[in-house]
Amino acid sequence: MSTRIEVVGRVSGRRRWTVEQKLSILRDAFGPDGSVRSACEQHEVGSGLLYTWRRLAMSGELTGTRPSVPSISGPAFAEVALAEPAAAVAASSPSGSPPDGRIGIELPSGVKLTVDGTVDAEVLARVLGVLGR
């Protein structure tokens, strides 16, 4: 009885991958129908190397370009200055009813924004962040 055995060996030594090859392997691993395990087996690379390439690609270091969408790395702060209250501001509306709880905001760019006192703080922070750019 004769049995045929196939010996598959790894490539010895360090291999050099072009950026195009790395991106192609990343598409095989992380694409819509991709699998890290199958990409590792097919291209004979370790999963750690794939995740390193993915991190570099996402930061723009792999291709030498930075992503167009700025990443949010931490909290952003805006300078706030309190103005002296105007003497002409009335405590109630002309009809004699109590104030409606509106808040007036004026940005350094000259943009004026009036919001209701019940506005969601997170939504207001996002709006102010966009307007402050």
Amino acid at 10: R
pLDDT tens, 27-59? 999 888 889 999 999 999 999 999 999 988 888
The b-or-e profile of 32-60 (16+ CB within 10 A means b, else e) is eeeeeeebbeebebeeeebeebbeebeee
Task: Please check the confidence at residue 68 and state whether its pLDDT lies above 80.
Answer: no
Question: How far is it, in rounded angstroms, from Cα 44 to Cα 26?
Answer: 13
Q: What is the pLDDT of residues 70-115, one digit of tens each?
A: 555 556 666 777 776 654 444 444 554 445 678 888 777 777 888 8
